[in-house]
Structure 1
Amino acid sequence: MNAGVEWAIHCCVVLSSADGPVSAQRLAEFHGVSRTYLAKSLQSLSRAGIVETTEGRVGGYVLSRPADEVSVLAVVQAIEGREAAFRCTEIRQNGPFGASPEECVRPCGVATVMAAAERAWRASLREVTIADLAGQVAAETDEPTQVAVGRWLRP
């Protein structure tokens, strides 16, 4: 996965606790990342319907639905796409002892175990919401810091 996944998840967590829209510039500063690259992740989240933009002087990004309705998997898929992480290339058909296509009707052990891992990984990410992560962050952050962050994020 590319860094955009991490950035997008963190941005969604921040947006879930922000009092209003947060600009891409503010989100980039908050996380110490490139605004240009973060903007691409935010655009992907917007296309997926996870965030929406607001216009005007206090414009920026907001979650488009409650944080408990946004799974981590939805964010990952918005950034990375829905394709499987592992793509079988049928390497067993290559080389001097390569199998014929007729011998490769069923998936090999590698493809089978990777598909099972993919299903487990997706199921795990589907079960965790942005609200779950925000709750974890809140539990690990003292109240003065939470207040300071809230003030800092306001335009």
Structure 2
Amino acid sequence: MKLSEGVEAAIHSAAMLAAVEGEATMPASALAEAFGLSSSYLLKHLQALTAARILESVPGPTGGYRLARAPERISLLDIVLAVEGPRPAFRCGEIRRNGPAKIDASAYVEPCGINAAMLRAERAYRAALAAEKLSDIITEFMADADPRVVRASCAFAAHHARPQKPNSQNNR
């Protein structure tokens, strides 16, 4: 199964936003810079995450994005579904019925055994993604990554975070 590059960008962006403290935000342009992506490309994925209520978009000159809920309440499945949509990866086209010998549809076992097997695999895959929380990914990164990468990532997040003023219109 191949997921779009947008899934990778979305997961990395959500992980970076987990480093933004309190009500602060980070602009899409900074997230794009952090991962060497074009802002317009990343923006469509950030908008999908916002529509799925994984991120919150804060308007205004000090606005940007932040997590809409705690990292332990965001699964990788949440992010994949926000970017890729809810349809299964495998879509049976019933090609078994397309050969030169046209047989009445009633001759074919329903559902297609291949489709049934692929949907079982999809359910297992989705269950595994649902069990993987953004907080787990971050914890593993902090424990296993080269300390230079951790310092650089944390410094980047701290530098680009935009604090929100108390009692401003930008607060949730």
For the criterion TM > 0.5, the same-fold answer is: yes
Gaps of at least 5 residues in structure 2 are: 161-172
The equivalent of 2:6 in structure 1 is 4
Gaps of at least 5 residues in structure 1 are: none
TM-score between both structures, scaled by the size of structure 1: 0.91
> Which one of 116, 124, 129 corresponds to residue 128 of structure 2?
124
Structure 1 residues 119 and 36, CA gap change in structure 2 (3 angstroms): same
> Which one of 93, 104, 110 corresponds to residue 106 of structure 1?
110
**Farther-moved stretch of structure 1 (65-74 vs 100-109):** 100-109
The equivalent of 2:170 in structure 1 is none
- The whole-number CA distance in structure 2 between the counterparts of 1:32 and 1:97 is 53
- The whole-number CA distance in structure 1 between the counterparts of 2:152 and 2:79 is 27
Q: Point out the structure with the larger helix share.
A: 1
- The whole-number CA distance in structure 2 between the counterparts of 1:117 and 1:148 is 38
Aligned-CA RMSD value: 1.6
> Which one of 29, 46, 67 corresponds to residue 25 of structure 1?
29
TM-score between both structures, scaled by the size of structure 2: 0.83
- Contact 1:13 / 1:134 at 8 angstroms: preserved in 2? yes
Q: Secondary structure at the match of 2:16?
A: helix
Q: Secondary structure at the match of 1:18?
A: coil
Alignment length (residue pairs): 155
- CA offset at residue 98 of structure 1? 4.5
The equivalent of 1:93 in structure 2 is 97
CA offset digits 1:65-109 (Å, max 9, x no partner): 000001100100001111111111111110113543112341222
